[in-house]
Every structure is written in structure tokens, then in C-alpha cells.
Chain A
């Protein structure tokens, strides 16, 4: 099979409706039944071992990088240890529900689930969460925040930054020696060391499981080779077998083995703690030496290396998250956000772009599916040819690639107390969480409904839509006589509601410590040194917990409209404003129009931008003071995924002119849909003007250009300059869609013809036709910059 045909065939196979695999859930349950009474670290490790010993292994025709994380093609596993009831409740609706569909389960699969899932009653984390979190806190979930508990999401939110470089260059056998050394130091007479003892043993069992799994693939490849008639394929299979015998236990000896080792570890981490936001780290940095060595030996050429990289990117699409109906609304479009960070600077501050940075972009340009997520670190030292290639790739794929400002991110990590050499080495995990490989990981935390704080501040602490008292009583807004009173009421609501969010989240995290990750923990330095699982603070103090603020632009726009219409221009009174909000502007369209004509965030207008900045910075300052579980740092972000839609359902009419229940502003810090009317530069300046350094865990700006806006080389240079200026003058993260409304409407009308049209939804790309109409329309509503 030639390279083109191999890539085309394997890529095409991935453009398919996701499927659910029941193997992990079934085997996990069997193992847990067998290990009752044993310590959590051991139970988890044994469960992983059981899964890796028993799950389906297969090598498909043409594959060179092997390993399927499920028995399906684009497959998702179930995690009954977190939550199980919803699967039984919803499994019949999977193929037909409005948000994020899956192929139907077979009768046999349903029976297996009916058999194994009820074991988890009272044992699953979610069941314990419901029993532990005080009821009044549970009541505000999905209003103040998106689903706050990991357990509630039904999958993990581990933003992984394991030490790929070490795994590839040393292998896990070498790492295990370090575990053994630590184990030798354990003094069982000390009670606390008993936990360590089990922790280290858990890692050893997990490593053993990894070796067994790789070995199963080695055997399978050899068996297949023995039967293979095609000589070329036979040789390929033998080579696969050799690779699987070597890695990830021992050091990778060549480029193919390096990719195989990375993929094996990636997928086994996924099987252990399935969830969105796992990363392959700085692949250009750790892969390049293997490539150069092979080239020097004459063992590989650029074309062959390109083919292997393409196959790795395709492989990453073998994973989806299975989400319940509610969760799917918060993160629609099967996001997995499997980051590969390219570019940036090295630990010593020098430009890090290398041959592999370009080659990963080339591979992505050819593959461009939804799961693999290239993150391009941009700074003043980045070669223009690299940034142009990245922008051309983004344009070609229409809706992919994240562009991150190194300057802002590194400054932000320093602000967060990370030493400079580590700060320079960050990768992007999850949505966009700057994380330090080998020593740190990130925990997706609370998504906080910031516009609701305006809703509450202007209704004496009660929700305007439901009437429920959610926040403190901050006074009758009709009697506010100054703008400061409005601002103060907002701030009090923020303080109180963040407290609620952290209370909920901390309970969730403390329960979560009962589902340790022995494999993942074994691949971080801090965990081994401390003898502490990653879920118990093993990567503290560098590990981060995010409070992701949703809808800050709505808050700024609302505050500016009140300041202007009520207090500066005196066109309306507070009473008129509140009446209009109560009526959702019905019969008060004149008031709505006055409010709409006030300055809006995204147009480089200080009047509103500085209020947005103040409101957001205040919330950030409150959030970082909160303590989280096990010494993990509280940090901030502006990231929404698609939470702006469901959280919008709970927010009444806002003073920015938005009607009740409509979506909130998208992306994270993107100006509210369609309000940034003055152009791309003003959009970027408004965003960069905020205190981005305080948003240690990133802020997301989405921008959409018509397909022709950057049609030739001269315009591409201008576009790149636009991007670089944003990155080099205080911006944080920006990502682009190059797709016109005409095309999006055509795709709505003829989904079959646009099956692989990718759009940037939030911090991930999704197939447009797989999104619910509500999300599709929210993307159409975003400002489109035409050729101007």
C-alpha cells in the first residue's frame, strides 16, 4: 500500500458516527468485584491490568502505529466508577438525541451494561457526591456553574502532562527502578508510609499491565505476519512486532518506535482515566531527536516520517468522550482536545521551532480531523516561515489550530509562581491550560456563570427567571442611586457564588481522591518523589485548578449600558431598567434599543473595556484566594466550551440588551456574538486590554473570517502580522474559523455533502453537521470578517 492510499483509507474510516464500547466498563466492574476490601490504589491498578489483559486487540489493514483504545473505530468507553445510572436511563436515546449522538448499542451490549452497571449503586463517585454535597449547593448546579463535579460529567477531566521525553528515551522499566528505590525507603512502622507502600505497588502493577498490553500487540503482529501473503505487509507487521516488544518498556530506538511508545502511553492513560484534554505534550521537542538520528543513519526520509506522523494523528481520533444528555450541552461536538504543542521557546529562552514543528503542521494539514489539536506557541522569536505555515494550515482546515501568546502565558505562569525555566517549557492541555510537563497537571474546575451575577445583582440576589434566592440580598436595585452601588452588588454576588462553587467542587475533588491513577502518577516526577497519587496532590504545588469564567463580555456590556443609559446620559431610570428586564423587553423595546446602543466590548472602546476588565479582574482575585483540594493552586481562565448556551438558559434579560435565555458570549473572551462590528484589530485590542496575566489558565478568543478574506500571499502576510501583534502585545489565545455564513447554511441544508467540515466551536474543533442546531446557529451568529 502506498503512503497516500494508506493515509486516505485510514483517515476516511475515522469520519464516522462515534460508538460506545462496553469492554472497559464490564472489565472494570469484574475487577472491582474481585478486589473488594483492598486499598484504592491497588484496586485501580488491578482493574487497569484486567482491562489491558482482556480488552480487544486488533491491527487494521495498513496500520503502522498500532493500538485501539476501544473495540470500535471512533469509540468511547464508559466509566461506571464515576457515574452509571445515566447510561441505563439514556442509552436508548443515544442515536436520536439532539446533542452529540452515538451509534445504537447492540442488544448484547445493552445486556452487558444492565448486568454490570448496577454494581456501582452507592459505590460510584456521583452517588457519593449526591450524598455528601449539601442540598442547597446542589440546587444551584447548572445555574451558577456548568456541571461542577467530575463524577457528574461521567468522565475524567485530567489535563495530563506526563513526561513523554523520559518515557521515550528511558522507557518505563527505568522509571520503575526509581519506584523500587522509593519503595525500599518505605518504613511500614510509620502509618503514613502504608499508603505510600500501596501507592508504589499500584504503579508497579500498572507498569506490568502496560508491558502485558504492548506484548499482546507484539504477539498479534507476529501471528498476522506469519499468515500474511503480501511480502511488504509481512515486513511491516514484523517491524510493528519489534516495536511493540521494545516500547514503552524500553527506550525507543527509532522514530517509529518513538511514535508507537507515545501512542501506547497516551491510549493507556486514556483507558485508565478516560477524559477530554489529554495531551501528547511538546511532540516537536521530544520527537525531533529521534527523527534527526534516523535521517542521519539513512533509516528514514521526510516522506516516510510524514506518513508516520499522519498515522499518529489519525489514531488520536479513535477516542471520544461519552457524555450524558446534560453534559453534552456544555461540551457539544464530541470534543476531546488532544493537544500537541508546537513552537515556542526552549527552557533557556531560545526559539524552539525545529524540523518536527514544521512536519507536524504538514501532517495536520493533510489529516485535519476533530480530535488532534495542534497548539501553536507564538513569540517574537518565532520564525515568520513557521507562523505563516501555521496560519496557512489553519486557513486550509477552516476551523483548527490554537495560537497562543508565549509572552503572555510565560508572564502569567511566573505570576503564578512557576520558575522561569519551567514556565518556558509549558504545554497546553485541556481546553487551554498551560501546564508544565513532568511536574504538573491541570484539573478542569468550575465553569462560572458570570452574567448571572448581574442578573442577581439587579434582582436582590434572586434569579429573575425562577425567583429562587441564589445569592445574598444586595438591595432593591430600583433604589440604586449610583453606578458604584450596581458594581458593589455585582461584586457581592460574585463573592458569595464563588464560595458556593468552591464548596461543591472541593467535595467533588476529595471524593475523587478515591479513584487514584497509578499509571499516570508513575509518569510524573513529583508523585514518585512524594509517594502521592496525582489525585491526592502528587503534583502540588504546580498543579492547577481552573475557575473558568463564562460571559465576562456580557457583564462588561451590561455594566457599561447601565452606566451610560442610567447614570451618565440619564435616558432611563433604574426602575425603568428593572421593569424592562422583568418583562424581557416586551413592550420596552425602546429601553432595549437605548441599552443596545451603549458601547460594546470588542470595539476597543475604553468606556466598556475597562469595566469588563474591572469586573473580570475582581472575580479572578476572589477566585485565586480560595483554597482547593490537596494544595492544588486555584487559577483562572475565560473558557466556555459550549456552556454559554445552557448557562444562558438560566439567565434573564440583561442590561446589554440580550433577551432572557439567549446564549451568553461564546469562546471565553470573544465579544458577544455579532457585537464587534468595527473590525479585527479592535476586537483584538479589547481582549488584550484585559488583565490577561491573571488568566493563568488561558482565555479564548474566537474570530471568524470569510473564506476569501485571506485569499493571497499578500493578505496572508497581513493576517500573520495581525496574529503576531495580538500575541506580542498582551493577547492570550486566539483561534480562527475561515468559513462564511453561506457555507454554514449550505451545510445545515445538505449535511451529507459537508460531513467533514470542521468548525472551531470553542477550544476544540467539531464536525459542523454533528452539532445541534442551537450550536450551529450560535456559530452563524458570530461576527464574520469579510474581505474588506
Chain B
């Protein structure tokens, strides 16, 4: 922060300035989060007449519930698939678009636009292609003998949810990888070439290591996206089904809390997810601190 004496001395103005942000934060962030933590250690009877303190009982129940354990496993598998595919594809495209090509600007623009789409909208576009009876891709798959029906087949539903999520994420990653590539001094690459390194060698020994900070940042952001923001994709495409094949932790929290009114269990699920997000944010900021040193 600014070193030395403060720029302004004023008793009330600073409080007035932070007031809007603090008020909304207090009412819509801190209070609900505190409520979630409180509800997580209580249990109410089905009629909401009596509430008692049960300590960590809700968490014990949660972590012995095979459905919740399934949702955890699914979320991690889903996050790994989405993150790895989106990072790989975006890096490949960014490296290609970074070359001095004719029409590079047009390519870049055509790669960026899906950033503008809501996850739920990405889901709608893919749904139209894969709807079992009218989707043209679905019909083509059935034409070559694949029994395509993601509303019945859990594996296919998972595939479709991953596809729509990755599709939307690629442009975000592309923007960052391209910025990362542009920040690498050309002289460094030329030096490597003069030393006789092949372009593959230049990429793996010079470019890729220099992109590590970007890659790491995107890894965290993509994981958060896969856990949190894909709610819209799942809600529009599969609603967690068929069975529980696409029910991630966030989707299960929504179903249990909003649809089934299981207040205490959903509060415990909220706390678990909060812990996860805090962990991811901490990882990200620890790493950003380090990057400031290197920059």
C-alpha cells in the first residue's frame, strides 16, 4: 500500500466510502455464510419445531452417505477432465495463433467470442446438437450404430456436460495463454534458435517453463469454474441425471437445500464447499505473491 503519510485525513468520509460495499458484503455474504455454519451444527425435526445442537454429526452423516461420496468423486473427476482438456486445447491454439500468420487477428477474434456465453447457453447450444431424437450429431451417431441417448446413459451425459463446459472455457484460457506468450521476449526465442534448438525443443525448454505461472493460475481458475460455475451447464443439460451421473457437489447442494429443504445437510455441504474454495484461493494467492517476486 501507499507508503508514508496518508494522503487525506478525514474522520467520516472513508467510512462513508466503504459503506456500500461493507453493507452488501455483511448482509449477503457474511451473514449467509455464518448462517450456513450455524445450521451445519444444528438439527431440526422435520416440522421445524425443535432444533438442537449436534456438533459435527451432520458432517459425519454426510461423509458416510454414499451419494455424497459419489458427488465428491464425480466433482473431482469432472474438474480434472474439464481443466486438463481446456488447458491443453487452449495452449495448442494459443501457440499456433502466436505465430506470425496471415489473418492472425481474425483467428484471435474467432477464438475469443465464446467467452461471452453463459455456461447455461453453451449447454443449450450443445443440447440442440445432441438431443437424442432431433439433434443432428445425435442422429449421425445413431446412424453409425452408437446408441446415443444421454438422458438414459450416464457416461454419455457426463461426456456431454464435460464437452459443453470445456467448449466455453477454451477461449478464457486462450486469452491468458496468448498474453503469456506475448510477454516472452522474442530475443530469448531467437537465441535458442541460433543455438540450433528445434522448434519443439524451444517450446518445451524455453516457452513452456516461462508459461508456468499462467498455466498454474489457469489451473486454479479452471478448477473453481468446474466446481462452481458449471452449475448452469448441468442444470440446463441433465439436472444431475440420469441417476446421479452428473450430480456434482454444487448441484447436490442445490437439490438438497432448495428442492428438498434439507436445511442442515445442505448447510454442512455449504461449509465443505467453502473450505474447498478457501483452499483454492489460498493456493492461488500464495502463488501470486511468489510471481510478484519473479516479475
Do A and B form a real pair?
Answer: no
Chain A residues in the interface with B (C-beta under 8 A): none
Chain B residues in the interface with A (C-beta under 8 A): none
